[in-house]
Structure formats: C-alpha cells, structure tokens
A and B are shown apart, each in its own frame.
Chain A
C-alpha cells in the first residue's frame, strides 16, 4: 500500500463532528436522524463492519418539544432489581432531573440492540443549553438541519417592536387593557 492509498483511507474514514440543535424539536422524531449519523448510515461507504460512525453534539436539549400531552403521559420505567424496586417516572419529572436524558434515551432506542450500541452512544454529546466546551466546539465542522422549523415567539408587549407594529384600529376609549 502506497503512502497515497494510506492517506486516502484515513481521509475516507475520518470522523466528522456534527452539531444538532434540539430546540423545539420532537426528540422521538429526530432520534432516528441522530442515530443515522452516529452509525454512519448517511455515508455511501457504510457497511455494518465498517467503523465509519460520526460524532454528534446535540445542544439545547432543555428546550425540546414533546407532542400533545406527552410530558404527562409518557412514562419511563426503571427497576432496581430488588422487590418493590420498580419506579415509573413521568417525562416532565425526568426532564426536571436531567434535561438531556429524554433525548439520550430516544437515541438509544433508535439504535438497534447489538454489541455496537453502547460504543455508538459514546459518540453522542448532549448539552442542555447552547454552552459547549471550547475543545468540543473546535471540532465541529457540520450542522445537521433540524427537521422542524423553530417558531418565532410573539415579542414582549412592552417592547418597541410590539408597540410599533401597525394596528388595524385603535382600542376603544372605554376598553380596559389587562
């Protein structure tokens, strides 16, 4: 193998660091997307015996959005192994304890159960907000597009932008604003 072939192979199997912004994203929808990048299934060279998975850094996991009333309906089960050791934790309780855990469990479920599962999960970095350590931020070279558009919130009523927005008609004189 020549030096060029060797370097070509290094380049082909180089790991890419992807960033994923989880703000306003449904974790159970984007988990398959993250799992795909963690396993390298998005690459044309993918093969189950290849070690071609990428690194994914997920930020803003505190600001994920669950559909409908899943915050109170989704239950996470854990059993310590001892009699009476079963616990059922609601999604909002788990999110209070650890804001990264829901997305982490969703990605874990999206990966097929085999010997590579734990190793693949180690390539996933989760941060509750947009603060990333500098050494990890320096590696990131790509961003995974979020599947859902982030909605723009209404501006603060006291703000300049809200006040200067053109009105169709002024309020009546006797109308009491809250």
Chain B
C-alpha cells in the first residue's frame, strides 16, 4: 500500500448480486458520447460513430447509447451503471481503436467505485481447520489450575512461552 492509497476507500473483491454465478448481466446501463463535428480532437470519436457504433450497439442490446454532437467541445464518454454510479472520461485526440477499447472497458465494469483491495482474493472459509483462538492447543489442565502457580508446576503447562 502506497501513500497515494491512503484516502482511497478499502474493500474486498465482490460482484454485484453474485453476478457471473449462473448468469451474467451487464452492469452498464447507459452511454452518452459527446463530440464536436468540426474539431480535430474529436476525429477518432467521429470515425468510431461512423463505422463502429452500430455494431457496438447491436452487440450490447442492454446498453442505451446516446450520441450528442456538441459544438466546439472536447469529446467525452459518460457511462451510467445499475448501481447509480457514473463513469466519465475524456477521449480527446484518441484514435478510433482507442475509443472502442475504452468503451469496451466501460462495458465490462461493474460500476463500483475504485477501491484499494485488502486482499486480491476472497473466500468465506479462509481456514478449513478453523481460525486460531486463545483456546487452541491449550492444555485443559490449566482450566483447574490455581494461580499463581508455584515454579515447580510441570513445564508443559506453560504453553505460551
């Protein structure tokens, strides 16, 4: 963990509603693509809209795609997810392939806020034999011992040393 992660919330690897176990439902609900018809920085987005957008929309029928021409504005992609979160990214000066790649990236997201993973795995049963407790491997004779014990007590009674 580095210092840049100090103010990032910490969490565990989860999937919304056990997504992917039995069935998978895409979490991306809506995509809004804004671009300019004349500026050069929107060129890749314009090419994407011309040649790839129809295919993308057919491949992802669960995603509503909105295309908004905005005069003299930088191109952006806004993605809205089932949980209400919103992803927003600038795609200025990106090529057609890059825009397609980032849009596909947004499609596969769960919409959950970025967090620092406490572990890169998650399990409900971290230990098969059971987690350790102070009573593990404890000598049952200690239950009846009188404290303070004299120093002549059997050495194997002192488990914690």
Contacts and interface: CB of A to CB of B under 8 A. Distances in A.
A21 B148 contact: yes
Interface in B121-135: 130-135
B160 interface: yes
Given A21-B148, A130-B148, A137-B147, A143 B158 contact: yes
B133 A12 contact: yes
Nearest to B149: A143
A45 B131 CA distance: 9
B131 A12 contact: yes
Given A142-B159, A145-B158, A145-B161, A19 B133 contact: no
A42 to B, nearest CB: 6
Contact of B133 (A11, A21, A130): A11
Contacts of B119: none
A26 interface: no
B151 interface: yes
Which range contains the number of A residues in contact with the other chain? 20 to 34
Nearest to B127: A8
A19 B151 CA distance: 12
B133 A144 contact: no
Contacts of A32: none
B148 A141 contact: no
A8 B158 CA distance: 24
Given A142-B142, A142-B159, A145-B161, A14 B133 contact: yes
A150 B145 CA distance: 20
A149 B147 contact: no
Contacts of B130: 8
Interface in A17-53: 18-19, 21, 33, 37, 42-45
B155 interface: yes
Nearest to A37: B160
A65 B121 CA distance: 51
Contacts of B133: 8, 11-12, 14
Contacts of B131: 8, 12, 45
A144 B133 CA distance: 18
Given A14-B133, A14-B134, A42-B160, A143 B155 contact: no
17 contacts: A8-B131, A11-B133, A11-B134, A12-B131, A12-B132, A12-B134, A19-B149, A42-B160, A130-B148, A137-B147, A140-B147, A142-B159, A143-B147, A144-B161, A145-B155, A145-B161, A149-B151
Contacts of A21: 148, 151
